[in-house]
Amino acid sequence: MSSPAARVPVTSPALQPSANHPPPAEGAPLRVDALVKRFGQVTAVDGISLELRTGECLGLLGPNGAGKSTLIRAIVGRVIPDSGQVAVFGSAAGSPAARAALGWVPQELAVYPRLTASENLHSFGSYYGLSGKPLAEAIAWCLKWAALEDRSHEITRNLSGGMKRRLNMAAGLIHQPRLVLMDEPTVGVDPQSRNRIFEMIEALRAAGATLIYTTHYMEEAERLCDRIAIVDHGRIIALGTHQALVQESFASRSQVLARFDGPPADIASWVASQSGRLADSTAEFTIKHPTEIAVLLESAANAGLQLVDVSLRRPNLESVFLHLTGRELRD
C-alpha cells in the first residue's frame, strides 16, 4: 500500500488560492496579541501573543487544561476573548474572510454520525459555499488524502475510530483553507492509526501547508512541528524550535537514566542527595560531561545500591517542560 503522502497531490487544495477565497491581501497567516480569556475564576488564556509564518507548522505543547484548545477556539472565532486580538491574514477572528481562510479540526469527532463519509464532506463543503464541480473535486481530494476512498459510502458511525478521526480531519480541509488548526487530532487513537494521521499531516507539510498543531504528546510535536510553543496555565512559557528549546533549558547538558536494585527508601534518599529525580523506578540526573556518570555510579555503590542499567540521552521536550514547570507534561 502506498503511503498517503504519495497520494497527496503536489499542490494540495489547502494551499491554493481559489475562487472560494481570494489570495491574501496582507498580513501573516496568524497574529495573536496579548490574548486573555477567563471562564469565571479560571483564566484559560493569560496574555498569549504569537505570530505564525507562512508555510510553517507551529506546535502548541502542553498538558490537558493548559489553555491550548481555548486559544485555538479564540483563533477560530468561537470564543470571544476578554482582551487581546486575533488576526487571520489580517482579518479579525470570526470575520467572513477569517472563517474562509481557516480550517479547524476540533478535538471532538465533530461529524454527522448518520451520514456517510462522502455526505459529511459534502455537507461541510456546502457550509463554506462550495458546490458543483469544485465541491466534487474537494471531496475526492479529501477522501484520497484521508485514505477513505474505499469507505466513502460507509455510514460514519460504522467506521473504525481511526477512520472517524481521519474523516474529522478531512472535514476541516474540505474548503481548501490557507491555515489549518488541528486540535489534538490523535486523541484516543491506537498507535497504528496515529502513524497514519502523522503521514497525512506530513503530506500536508510537504505540500507547504501552514499549520497549528496542539498536542500533549512531545513526540508528535518533535516529529511534526517547525517551532513549538510550550503552554502552561494559559501562558506560553517557551517558544522556539525543538533544538532551541532544549538548548535554552539544558545548553550542552545531557541526562543520565539509571535503575538500581535496593530498598526503595534508600534509592529515593540517595537520588535526592545527588539532586536527581525519581520517575517510576528510574533515576534521572542532568550532567555536563559524560565523565560525571562514573562519579554518580560510584556514589550509588557506596550507598549500597546495585546498578541494573544506565543510559545517556539528550534532553527532550518532556525534560524542557519539567525543567520549566517542575511538573511532568502528562501530570
Partner 1 sequence: MKFLSIARTALVALRRDRAALALSFILPISFFSIFAVIFGSRHDTVPKISIILVDEDQSPTSRQLVQALRREGSLTVATKPQAKKNEPEPADYTAATAEAAVKAGDVSVALIIPAGWGANPITLRPDLPSGPALQLLNDASDAIAPQMVGGLLEKAAMTALPVTMAEQGMKYTSESIGGLTPEQRTRMEANLARMRQYQAEQAAAGPGAASPAPAGFGSGGLIAVQNRSVVGENKNNPMISFYAAAIGVMFLLFTASGSSGALLDEAESGTLDRVLSSRITMTGLLAGKLLFNTLLAFTQLTVMFLWAWAIFKLDFLAHIPGFLIMGLSTAVAVASFGMLLASLCHTRAQLGALSTLVILIMSSIGGSMFPRFLMPESMQKAGLFTINAWAIDGFTKVFWRDLPVSALWPQVSVLLAIAVVLFAFARRIARRWEYA
For the CB of residue 104, give the shortest distance to partner 1 in the complex, in Å.
5
Per the listing, cell 474529522 goes with 168
Q: Binders of partner 1 among 122-141, rule CB under 8 A?
A: 124, 127-129
| Pairwise CA distance, residues 291 & 287, whole Å | 9
Sort strands 227-232 and 57-61 into parallel, antiparallel or unpaired: parallel
CA distance 308 to 98: 57
Q: Which one of 96, 161, 188, 263 is in contact with partner 1 (CB under 8 A)?
A: 96
CA distance 213 to 210: 10
166 binds partner 1 (CB under 8 A): no
Instruction: Determine if 267 is a binding residue for partner 1 (CB under 8 A).
Output: no
Q: What sign does the dihedral 102-107-110-111 (CA atoms) show?
A: positive
User: Which parts of 195-224 interact with partner 1 (CB under 8 A)?
Assistant: none
Least spacing, CB of residue 73 vs partner 1, in Å: 7
Nearest approach in angstroms of CB 99 to partner 1 is: 6
In whole angstroms, the minimum distance from the beta carbon of 93 to partner 1 comes to 10
112 binds partner 1 (CB under 8 A): yes
**Residue 250 near partner 1 by CB under 8 A:** no
Kindly determine how many residues on this chain lie close enough to bind partner 1 according to the rule CB under 8 A: 27
Shortest separation between residue 4's beta carbon and partner 1, angstroms: 23
Q: Residue 300's closest CA among 328, 259, 329?
A: 259
Out of 99, 151, 165, 205, the only residue in the binding site for partner 1 (CB under 8 A) is: 99
Q: Which is nearer to partner 1, 127 or 190 (CB)?
A: 127
> Considering only residues 270-329, where is the footprint of partner 1 by CB under 8 A?
none
Asked whether 41 and 179 are in contact (CB, 8 A), the reply is no
Residues near partner 1, by CB under 8 A: 39, 73, 76-80, 96, 99-100, 102, 104, 106-113, 124, 127-129, 171-172, 175
